[in-house]
Amino acid sequence: MSGKAAIVGSGVIGSGWAARFLLNGWDVAVFDPDPDAQRKTAEVLDNARRALPALYNKSLPPEGTLSFHTDLGEALSGASWVQESGPEQLAVKHAIHRDLSRLAPADAVIASSTSGFTPSALASEGARVIAAHPFNPVYLLPLVELVGDGPTCARAAEHLRSVGMFPLIVRKEIDAHVADRLLEAVWREALWLVRDGICTTEELDEAIRMGFGLRWAQMGLFETYRIAGGEAGMRHFLAQFGPALKWPWTRLTDVPELDDALVGLISEQSDAQSGHLSIRALERQRDDNLVAILRALRRSNSGAGKVIATHEATFPEPSPATPPVTVRRQIPQTWADYNGHMNEAAYLGAASEASDRFMALIGCDEAYIAQGGSYFTLESHVQYLAELRVGELITITTQLLSGKGKTLHLFHRLNGPDGETAATIETLLVHVDLRTRRSAPPSERVAALIAETAMAHAALPAPAAAGRGIAVRTSSAGAG
């Protein structure tokens, strides 16, 4: 699914929305009277292009067309999604939505990024609008809280899933929806702890990121506490720790006065904590860490990682008839070494991803592996040709050299951001019966797909580097 999205307001959130839609193949029209709108959006897009593709093993769709407009009607023309991300002031939003309801196509979803206002409040002067509250960075974090008219929210959810997001339809209207009410509770308590000298801003952040923040990323709140209840589960946890909720442990009903003294204290501690880093540097550090966490969650099919895997499953498979693109992604921070470039082990990791993608193209996919068949690597030979750095886009194409019998002989070309070949990885795999853990012929369907692909690839020039590290075998008996 793709279309045109109109982004009204291009601050941090609006630009994040623009990046999310644009990098998923949508055309994006941005309306913002700010003369710096294009620069601000471009900076967010730079971060998004570096981070979002790194979540996936398949290529994202080709980018849509990005345009900037000073005429609101022109920006809204033909849009199927309209996202307002203006100031969090109700009078301002009323003025914006009067124009959006009048000028936007009748079938367009009109959504507000509001973090606090209900759709009833936004629509109190006749606007047609739902709340679609995202989280920063919008291009990486999948959660969007949807509130408002049921059929419109259902339609909005389909659009959001198509760009890799997780729409959570809130059952009843309430100020600040769901997630921000939790965040505000933690924020209030944090302000008291700093004000009363219990901890500094840095110490409080350490308490979150060294402890329960890691648990929440994979299990949320209730599943975390279910485990805390042991084998007896949630009922035992509530019986044991429930009474503590009545103890005076928190000050959640009180709000500390944000007087000059408290504002100064928090600002000074925050500057000492991370003032030596620019906002852009902090954003990149955040994005690199989020990509690593999200990819780890993807491996276990947990939390937001499951959303990424589900989204990627909707991407079209490349044709295996010509050397298919089996990997296209940014180089993450975790692939770099102390020299600041891609580590040699990461080349093999990238080749492994490419082999997995090629296996899926010839029918050896997750379903096939679940039935007991797979390919194991026998040998690999890497040729390093050029330096690659964190954040650069790499593209791997895979050529089938031979695939008779039990073995699969592949040649991967790892191409850098300018299209030059930065490395080649020659790999020999053998088909294995996972029940016996010994070599075995592939299924008839997989063998037929291999033969079909081999016929197409036979017309391709033989790689000059092929055979340098892996000798051509005269037997296809394989291991075992």
CATH number of 4-177: 3.40.50.720
Angle of CA points 121, 123, 129, to nearest 5°: 115
**460: Cβ–Cβ under 8 A, 6 or more apart, which residues?**
322, 323, 399
pLDDT for the residue numbered 246 = 78
pLDDT for the residue numbered 60 = 86
- For residues 24 and 164, the answer to whether their CB atoms sit within 8 Å is yes
pLDDT in tens, 73-132: 999 999 999 999 999 999 999 999 999 999 999 999 999 999 999 999 999 999 999 999
The domain locations on the chain are 4-177, 195-276, 317-457
pLDDT for the residue numbered 473 = 54
Lowest mean pLDDT among 109-113, 234-238, 413-417: 234-238
**Does residue 316 carry a pLDDT above 90?**
no
Alpha carbons 350 and 410: distance in angstroms, whole number: 14
**Does residue 479 carry a pLDDT above 50?**
no
Q: How many residues in total does the chain contain?
A: 480
Lowest mean pLDDT among 74-78, 217-221, 450-454: 217-221
Lowest mean pLDDT among 334-343, 382-391, 399-408: 334-343
CATH architecture of 317-457: Roll (3.10)
pLDDT for the residue numbered 442 = 96
Rg over CA atoms, the chain: 26
Average pLDDT value for residue range 450-465: 92
pLDDT for the residue numbered 480 = 38
Average pLDDT value for residue range 233-244: 84
pLDDT for the residue numbered 201 = 95
Average pLDDT value for residue range 144-167: 97
Would you place residue 333 in the very low, low, confident or very high pLDDT band (cuts 50, 70, 90)?
confident
User: Which residues lie across from 83 on neighbouring strands?
Assistant: 7, 111
pLDDT, mean over the chain: 91
Torsion sign (Cα): 322, 328, 334, 337 = positive
> pTM of the prediction?
0.81
Would you place residue 336 in the very low, low, confident or very high pLDDT band (cuts 50, 70, 90)?
confident
**Inter-CA distances, 428 with 85, 269, 377, 469, 476, Å:** 52, 56, 6, 10, 11
Alpha carbons 456 and 116: distance in angstroms, whole number: 57
Q: Helix, strand or coil for residue 198?
A: coil
The residue with greater pLDDT, 108 or 474, is 108
The dihedrals phi and psi of 335, each to the nearest 5 degrees, come to -90, -5
- Amino acid identity, position 151: P
pLDDT in tens, 38-50: 999 999 999 998 8
Average pLDDT value for residue range 284-291: 86
Alpha carbons 450 and 467: distance in angstroms, whole number: 20
pLDDT for the residue numbered 472 = 61
Would you place residue 240 in the very low, low, confident or very high pLDDT band (cuts 50, 70, 90)?
confident
**Does residue 363 carry a pLDDT above 80?**
yes
